[in-house]
Amino acid sequence: MCGIAGFFQFNDTVDVKKHTLRKMLTRIRHRGPDQSGVYVSEGVGLGSVRLSIIDLSSGTMPLATTDESKWIVFNGEIFNYIELREELVAKGHTFKTSSDTEVIVHLYEEYGPEFLQKLNGQFAIAIWDINKRELFLARDRVGIRPLYYTEVDESFVFGSEIKAITEFPGVNPKISPKALAEYYTFWTSMSPNTAFEGIYEVPPGTYMKIDANGHTSTKYWELPITKPEDYKYNNLEEASAKFEEIFADAVKLRLRADVQVAAYLSGGIDSSVTTSFIKDISPDNLRTFSLGFTEKDYDESSFQNIAAKYFDTEHSSVMCGPQDISKNFKSVIWHSEAPLLRTAPTPMSLLAKSVRDENIKVVITGEGADELLGGYNIFKEAKIRHFWSKDPDSKYRPLLLKGLYPYLPQISKAKGSMLKMFFGYKLNETKSPIYSHLLRWNNTSRIKNYLSQSNREKIKGYDPVADFEKKLEPKLEGYDYLTKAQFIELNIFMSGYLLSSQGDRMGMANSIEGRYPFLDHRVIEFAMSLNPDLKLNGLNEKYLLKKMMKGRLPEPILNRPKQAYRAPIRSTFISDDLPEYLKTMLSEETIKEFGIFNPDHVTSLLGKMKKSGHVSEIDNMALTAVLSTQILHDLFVNKSMPELQENELVQLDKEIIS
């Protein structure tokens, strides 16, 4: 795993270009603390910081084809690189290293952009073609690894993280009000937008070509979806056998490394499944790690202990309390580079740190199972609302919603009239392609009311939900309700929030690489071809997975009700022990100074949360959104992080000056 950065059409001296690359790489050194290198040529620079996992001794980047006409820097892992290397050797290619990076640049030489279809991995790639004078960028299918770009004057600038781009001369980030409207609705911006004006991401499953005439983007993969008449798997036994085959190989490939591979064990079914498969493939002692909370409403330690004992792993757990979250929240925003509506990424960062403290670089995790196999409550919610909509006046159908959120008293203890009022939003609009998410987005979008008058004026007339619905209408026509909901969840929430703020960023902040067997593209394509009843059977989520793992997991884990991963908010930020920096960010004076939010509205929110013992989820999210956005502005717009000094810059292990 690594971090990459670079530029095209930056016409300055070699020394300035090299110095700029070193500054860009230093900002993302956490992504690759082991080695660093640069390639500098006329108008072009490529740089890499490396976390060495495969070919520890000779894989330092940048690397080139045999004739040195194409140079590459690369962030990620190609899990099937051994098989691809054999294919290339048979075609006459020769290699200087054993790394997956060198395989990629030879694949590009052999096949051009079509080589991306051959990759099983998670990646962000940059290749400079000397003969074409063309820069090629590509990102993995579902966006596990990040890649950003901007244009300054005539220069094109890219990097694994936005903070690398901000070290390029002339880049002065400014938070986008339109992006805030998206974050305060979807929990993320709509790709390719980011939180900052003029800075974009390379969307998942996309490659770009950049030359003197400009840049083009091409989608090489998108989530496959299946209409009812085309479901490939309707039989449980047949589907189970096929899933077992594909998933076992996905796990096996992700165990490839020249360093120790560990696993997260959360106490839920997803991480227990991955651990079970790891133990079958490699019965040797496995290190597992979990996260516990001092507040019992969030803690899953009892299930984690059951799983660790069952699998006989060498298990470690890190406990997290509100003060741990508040103490580390600023750092989490620095690494997330985005507004957050949840504190959940912070404990994930602490968990990753506990792994790194044990000198482990790689963990396998269960992300993707909920999205692919119908695990989230939002899927059940959509199913119940569809059922309820057929008899809107029913007293009993809304009561089905009570059981979905046992951890939210205002729902689990609500009367039928209250449930109707809360969950009845646009109940009969079942033909909408975004029906499953209408309620969530309507509730979350209330956070926009905290914006200052000037920002509300700037986004006046922009309705992110209506805009997105219009785009999806022709695309999702004729698909079942679950497929529609999964399409939205996988393309927006998973890529934009889960894999970013909770995944890549928190892992790489601590130089930890996460690997996700459920997100192997073969698993994704299989899951999206299943009859929905094999995913969500009645209100029984992940039906296929549970049936397949019967007798292979402890019963308390196999049959436990779904518990969403959450972290405390009110007790974290409404506290006399709140760090001074966070107090300053929430002060009326600073709110006025930054001009993002209405100070009266924020003061009212804080007062309400201090007085009331029970606050709504929207209030919790609003407070987190305000604080995280304030910090984001301070770090990136005000540039409150200290400037890099010469003696802090990365020392280059490899320099190619062409």
Domains of the chain: 2-222 (3.60.20.10), 228-373+500-558 (3.40.50.620), 378-488 (no CATH), 570-637 (no CATH)
| Residues 130, 126: Cα–Cα separation, whole Å | 13
Non-local (6+) Cβ contacts of 134 within 8 A are: 128, 209, 210, 211
DSSP code for 47 = E
Helix (H, G, I), strand (E, B) or coil at 473: coil
| Residues 50, 568: Cα–Cα separation, whole Å | 34
Average pLDDT over residues 300-317: 97
Query: What is the predicted pLDDT for the residue at 1?
Result: 63
Q: Does residue 613 have a pLDDT over 80?
A: no
Return the number of other C-beta atoms located less than 10 Å from residue 112's C-beta.
11
Q: What share of the chain is helix, strand, coil (3-state, %, to 5)?
A: 45, 15, 35
Model pLDDT for residues 16-58, shown as the tens digit of each residue: 999 999 999 999 999 999 999 999 999 999 999 999 887 776 7
- Residue 518, CA atoms < 13 Å, CB-side half-sphere: 26
Model pLDDT for residues 247-263, shown as the tens digit of each residue: 999 999 999 998 999 99
Percentage of the chain modeled with pLDDT above 70: 99
Confidence of residue 505 (pLDDT cuts 50, 70, 90): very high
Query: What is the predicted pLDDT for the residue at 159?
Result: 98
Model pLDDT for residues 558-600, shown as the tens digit of each residue: 988 888 899 999 999 999 999 999 999 999 999 999 999 999 9
Q: Does residue 403 have a pLDDT over 90?
A: no
For the entire predicted model, the pTM comes to 0.97
Q: Does residue 142 have a pLDDT over 70?
A: yes
* Full DSSP string of 542-575: THHHHHHTTTTS-HHHHTPPP------SHHHHSS
Confidence of residue 59 (pLDDT cuts 50, 70, 90): confident
Token pair belonging to 483: 């497929």
